[in-house]
């Protein structure tokens, strides 16, 4: 069997797959996010490793036969600092971290932000490695001085399991990569004032990357035999695209998770247009993933349901009770404290609820949030260059009613990616490719379902999307005014 491991922001999961792609067992363990200051979001690497050991052992107890290969994927961005022994120097700062908000604003004002995008095709946001590294260089330089590696989540796990220090082209794509050579660009490090820390960046594996062997320490942690082949696959956004079978030029995938990640396969690293989103290397040398990981995913619905004293089990009823258009209620779902990063970057972006009357119901508010996430997805996919089919996955996509809302807003069929654990599936597929194992790609990625849009709602949601875009543009000007303060009198 093949084992896929997905090191998520809130849950570490392991999934065992048969050679034909059937799921044999899945286990997950929650991992804690720490907030030592309101703007900080951190994870303990040792706790993540402990959760990994638990899920792998639990899956092994439910299955028979040897593990032929282990594929790793996990959350991207953030900053994971290790010493020379592969031990954490400090808790990792995750991609949700906002301690570098002011630094990103400085870079925006000075032109560094845009110059970086024109070189790299990726925006720098507060949770990006460059911004967090710059914040630590100012506030906590001793952590960087003690570190031997400034890596990414799955790379930390790879080093602890195999003893080898490396990253892959997808994680390395931003913020420091030269996409023409798929190597680090010293000019970008200088641009950010981080040239002194270039030695902390791990070597980039050429695609598809080697198989590495589980060490005695890795075997003790996971319960797998020493020498089991391990592959450091793409991080979770490209891994999910692989697991969903998205490989045609112009095809896209929507991950309705904590992040609303909207991704499209492209054949060049485009640095034109308004800076926004990410340009991520796929394993193939002439393919990239134009990713728009908006900060408006299931967290927007979580907040709404929490404020209403409800749970996810109520979503279906709420969406059934409020008609399309939510009786005139409109939402901008920018609830993340670090603002928005795709398809535009506004660290001070904030949410908005409008159109309410004394007749507005809780169901109207929930539907307005669900529709607003659909509008955000359409905004992102349009900016990313969508011109093909769309696959959908993620926790939010488990709701049939919400899937239908998204199809109706987008006015395109949605293929529901083969479940469960699409990211872990992609990691397992990447591992099999690297190991030279034959498998049926179409079988591994056949969709579970398809959602057809209601064509009679095309005009309603076309007008709704136009209103959404107009409101976003008008409110961006307000965010700018709130950030710099009122003009002098």
Confidence of residue 264 (pLDDT cuts 50, 70, 90): very high
Q: What is the mean pLDDT of residues 117-122?
A: 95
pLDDT in tens, 386-406: 999 999 999 899 999 999 999
**486 has pLDDT over 90:** no
Tens digits of per-residue pLDDT, 20-40? 999 999 999 999 999 999 999
For the 247-416+454-484 domain, the top CATH level (class) is: alpha beta
CA distance 292 to 296: 11
pLDDT given for residue 346 in this prediction? 86
pLDDT in tens, 128-178: 999 999 999 999 999 999 999 999 999 999 999 999 999 999 999 989 999
Question: Over 90: is that where the pLDDT of 482 sits?
Answer: no
Is residue 489 over pLDDT 70?
Answer: no
- Burial class of residue 447 in the structure, from the number of CB atoms within 10 Å of its CB (0-12 exposed, 13-18 middle, 19+ buried): middle
**Mean pLDDT value across residues 458-479:** 95
At 442-452, the pLDDT tens digits run 999 999 999 99
Give the whole-angstrom CA distance, residue 421 versus residue 400. 18
- Where are the domains positioned within the chain? 2-238, 247-416+454-484
- Please give the mean pLDDT across all residues of the chain: 94
| 435 CB burial (10 A radius; 0-12, 13-18, 19+) | middle
The string of DSSP letters for 406-431 reads: HHHHHTS-EEE--SS-HHHHHHHHHH
The pLDDT tens digits for 183-195 are 999 999 999 999 9
User: Model pTM?
Assistant: 0.91
Query: Which of 30, 158, 136 shows the shortest CA–CA distance to 92?
Result: 136
Burial of 338 (0-12, 13-18, 19+ CB in 10 A): buried
Tell me whether the CATH fold assigned to 2-238 matches the one assigned to 247-416+454-484.
Answer: yes
DSSP assigned state of 486: P
Superfamily of domain covering 2-238: ATPase, nucleotide binding domain (3.30.420.40)
pLDDT of the residue at 348: 86
pLDDT in tens, 215-263: 999 999 999 999 999 999 999 999 999 999 999 999 999 999 888 999 9
Give ∠ CA 261-378-268 in degrees, rounded to 5.
65
């Amino acid at each position: 069997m093949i084992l896929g491991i997905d090191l998520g922001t809130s849950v570490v999961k392991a999934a065992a797959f048969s050679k034909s792609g059937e799921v044999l067992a899945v286990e997950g363990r929650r991992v804690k996010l720490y907030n030592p200051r309101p703007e900080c979001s951190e994870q303990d690497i040792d706790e993540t490793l402990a959760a990994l050991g638990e899920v792998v052992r639990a899956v092994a107890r439910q299955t028979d036969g040897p593990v032929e290969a282990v594929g790793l994927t996990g959350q991207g961005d953030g900053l994971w600092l290790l010493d020379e022994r592969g031990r954490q120097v400090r808790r990792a700062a995750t991609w949700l971290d906002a301690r570098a908000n002011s630094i990103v604003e400085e870079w925006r004002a000075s032109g560094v932000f845009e110059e970086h995008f024109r070189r790299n095709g990726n925006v720098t946001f507060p949770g990006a490695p460059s911004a967090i590294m710059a914040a630590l260089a100012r506030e906590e330089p001793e952590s960087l001085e003690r570190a031997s590696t400034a890596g990414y989540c799955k790379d930390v796990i790879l080093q602890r399991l195999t003893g080898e220090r490396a990253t892959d082209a997808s994680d390395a794509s931003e913020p420091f990569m030269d996409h023409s050579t798929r190597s680090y660009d010293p000019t970008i490090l200088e641009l950010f004032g981080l040239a002194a820390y270039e030695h902390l960046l791990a070597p980039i594996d050429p695609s598809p990357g080697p198989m590495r062997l589980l060490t005695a320490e890795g075997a003790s942690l996971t319960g797998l035999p020493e020498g089991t082949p391990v592959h450091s696959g793409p991080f979770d956004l490209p891994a999910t695209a692989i697991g969903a079978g998205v490989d045609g030029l112009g095809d896209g995938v929507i991950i309705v998770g904590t992040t609303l990640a909207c991704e499209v396969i492209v054949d060049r690293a485009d640095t034109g247009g308004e800076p926004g989103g990410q340009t991520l290397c796929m394993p193939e040398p002439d393919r990239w993933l134009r990713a728009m990981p908006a900060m408006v995913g299931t967290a927007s619905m979580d907040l709404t349901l929490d404020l209403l004293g409800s749970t996810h089990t109520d979503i279906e009823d709420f969406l059934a009770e409020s008609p399309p258009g939510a009786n005139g209620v409109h939402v901008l779902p920018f609830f993340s404290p670090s603002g928005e990063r795709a398809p535009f970057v506004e660290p001070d972006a904030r949410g908005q609820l409008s159109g309410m009357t004394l007749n507005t119901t809780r169901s109207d508010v929930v539907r307005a949030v669900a529709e607003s996430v659909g509008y955000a997805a359409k905004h992102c996919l349009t900016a990313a260059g969508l011109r093909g089919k769309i696959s959908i996955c993620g926790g939010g996509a488990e709701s049939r009613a919400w899937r239908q809302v998204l199809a109706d807003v987008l006015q395109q069929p949605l293929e529901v990616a083969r479940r469960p654990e699409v990211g872990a599936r992609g990691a397992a597929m990447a591992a099999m490719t690297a190991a030279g194992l034959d498998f049926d790609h179409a079988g591994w990625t056949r969709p579970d379902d398809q959602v057809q849009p209601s064509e009679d709602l095309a005009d309603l949601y076309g007008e709704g999307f136009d209103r959404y875009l107009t409101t976003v543009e008008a409110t961006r000007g307000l965010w700018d005014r709130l950030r710099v303060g009122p003009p002098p009198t």
